Amino acid sequence: MRLFGGRESETKVEVSQKRPPLVVGVYRRARRPDRGHMEVLSRRVPYWFLVVSLLAFASIQIWLNPFGFSDLVQRYSQDVSGLLITGPYLYGTEGRDRVSVTLIDEGTLHQLQTPWPWTYGDHARALGALLSYKPKAVVVDILFVDPRRDETLGELIDVIHRYQAAHVPLYFEGGVDLPYGENALTPEIVATGVPVLDPSTPINAGVARQYDGTGHCFNVKPDNDGTCPSLALKVYRDVFPKQPPAKINDKMELVWGTRTAPSNLKWMSDQGKTCATDFTLVQRIYLAFFDTSQVKSPCPYNAVIPVEGLMAGSDADIPKLIEDRVVFYGAHLQGAQDTVFTPVNNLLPGVFVHAMALDNLVTFRGRPEQDAISLFGQVQDGNLVQIVAVIPVILILSWFHWLGLKRGRERKERSATFEYFLEKTVEKLWHYLAFGLALGIGLLLTLAAGLSVANWVEVVFVSAELAALLLVGAPDSFWGYLRHVAGADVQDR
């Protein structure tokens, strides 16, 4: 028995030396893989594994936003597109011809010899001058929040009633996030029944690229879903009822025009500023990438009416800049801190964000670009939309790659020169194919669902990355490694 037991023990030792335990074998192969074995196995990667691995990479890239890459790509692409293509060549002037801005600035205070803040009576005279030129509507972009003793308040109330009698829509803005519970607007003005709108605008890294779809209701009746439209949407809905706006699922993506209103060239030149409008396409391309400060214009897109000229009535251009237009009445004063950068301008007064939002609605006939789409009545996250958009690219690229591997296993001997040129040709075609597919899907999303370029352009970059991963054989090598570590035989299918 001892002899038998000893032989059995020796036999077990020999077997264990020839065939180590499963865990030990996996560890050894993982630590010191056989590269030749892995390479053979990598050529047998299944189609489903290619799809899953590329989808996992794309999801990580889009959803987790490593190093802020997604945000940077989206906003940088939006800015470059605005400077190069959308602003100077593709964006129409329909809105520019229907929206103007009248500004109180330092020049106004100097010429009229008036201090700031103005009295209610001063504002009443400016608004009365606007009304005399028969505007389509007027939006007051000055907050009347702080209570003060001013005997001229009755003059402003009287002007509001004159607007109502003339059936010219007049809107005031209400204060939001007031720290001490102040009234959003002076009660006496609210009592006139004038609509009060939310002036909030989202700012991304100091740049105005988007516009809210909804806001505070104040004294405006909510829609059926309990929300109230943002300032520009409310004005557009009231003033342009023949082209009702589409439902904004989250935010509008602002398209900033670069072809400033011709009337701005005159008064900007009087201030010693030059509007950047005479660049060639080659100059624009160079400056957009290497010196954006030079290609960005100090001139706003919408026509500007200096208040001093309005009240004096000395400028022959003023009537045509007001009649049958929506006019935003605002201020641009030192210390007010109501300025923003835009993708195509340097600092501009904040009132131009509202003007540009309304300009977009008019130009796009109530169908502005958005940052989210709705499927089956539900608003979908922008990242989810991008992942869904990249799936067709993944399926097609993986299929071509898998067929190439299959042909490689079955093809006959070819000359080394032919193989070299074939690989180079395929490599170029793959990059073009990836970009073409992604661009086609993105344009389809823009045309069919109104999704903005900023919200699908990352699909193009991710598609190029996926093509590069397949070109270097990353998913194939990973499959070969996993199969080798698992102990697969070369003949395994």
Residues 53 and 118 in one domain: no
* Structural domain contains residue 49: yes
Mean pLDDT of 225-232: 94
* The pLDDT of residue 12: 47
Residues 104 and 120 in one domain: yes
What average pLDDT does the structure give for the chain? 82
Buried/exposed 350-364: b ≥16 CB within 10 Å, e otherwise: bbbbbbbbbbbbbbb
The reply to whether omega before 195 is within 30° of 0 (cis) is: no
* The pLDDT of residue 97: 94
* pLDDT exceeds cutoff 80 at 266: no
- 3-state class of 331 per DSSP? strand
Return all residues near 374 (Cβ < 8 A) that are at least 6 apart: 247, 249, 380
Asked whether 371 and 210 are in contact (CB, 8 A), the reply is yes
Residues 49 and 138 in one domain: no
Mean pLDDT of 167-180: 91
* The pLDDT of residue 81: 79
- CA atoms within a 13 Å half-sphere pointing along the CA-CB vector of 33: 20
Boundary of a domain, candidates 304, 337, 371: 371
* pLDDT exceeds cutoff 50 at 252: yes
More confident residue, 345 or 85: 345
Measured CA to CA, the distance from residue 428 to residue 432 in angstroms comes to 6
* The pLDDT of residue 493: 47
Residues 314 and 445 in one domain: no
Measured CA to CA, the distance from residue 233 to residue 237 in angstroms comes to 6
* Structural domain contains residue 240: yes
Report the amino acid identity of residue 38. M
Strands (E), 267-338: 303-306, 326-332
* The pLDDT of residue 74: 75
Mean pLDDT of 182-188: 90
Residues 59 and 175 in one domain: no
Return all residues near 311 (Cβ < 8 A) that are at least 6 apart: 112, 125, 126, 129
* pLDDT exceeds cutoff 50 at 271: yes
The residue to which tokens 């987790």 are assigned: 64
Residues 50 and 169 in one domain: no
Percentage of the chain with pLDDT > 70? 81
Q: What is the largest CA-CA distance in the chain?
A: 123
Tens of pLDDT, residue by residue over 398-456, are 888 888 788 776 654 455 555 555 555 665 676 677 667 777 777 776 666 666 666 67
Residues 407 and 452 in one domain: yes
Residues 176 and 58 in one domain: no
Boundary of a domain, candidates 371, 388, 406: 371
Return all residues near 301 (Cβ < 8 A) that are at least 6 apart: 96, 256, 257, 258, 259, 260, 261, 345, 352, 356, 359
Measured CA to CA, the distance from residue 368 to residue 360 in angstroms comes to 6
Residues 123 and 97 in one domain: yes
Measured CA to CA, the distance from residue 22 to residue 53 in angstroms comes to 26
* Structural domain contains residue 69: yes
Query: Parallel, antiparallel, or unpaired: how do β-strands 251-253 and 339-340 relate?
Result: unpaired
Query: Parallel, antiparallel, or unpaired: how do β-strands 210-212 and 196-197 relate?
Result: unpaired
Residues 267 and 327 in one domain: yes
Tens of pLDDT, residue by residue over 112-147, are 899 988 999 999 999 999 999 999 999 999 999 888
* The pLDDT of residue 315: 78
Q: pLDDT-based confidence at 218, cuts 50/70/90?
A: very high
Asked whether 54 and 462 are in contact (CB, 8 A), the reply is no
Asked whether 308 and 111 are in contact (CB, 8 A), the reply is yes
Measured CA to CA, the distance from residue 355 to residue 349 in angstroms comes to 11
Domain containing residue 417 = 42-73+376-485
More confident residue, 200 or 444: 200
* Structural domain contains residue 35: no
Residues 358 and 400 in one domain: no
> Which CA distances in Å does 340 have to 101, 106, 203, 328, 364?
16, 18, 8, 16, 23
Return all residues near 84 (Cβ < 8 A) that are at least 6 apart: 284, 285, 288
| Number of domains into which the chain is organized | 2
* pLDDT exceeds cutoff 80 at 178: yes
Residues 418 and 343 in one domain: no
* The pLDDT of residue 426: 63
* Structural domain contains residue 146: yes
User: What's the pTM value of the predicted model, to 2 decimals?
Assistant: 0.78
* Structural domain contains residue 24: no
* Structural domain contains residue 55: yes
Boundary of a domain, candidates 371, 398, 431: 371
* Structural domain contains residue 21: no
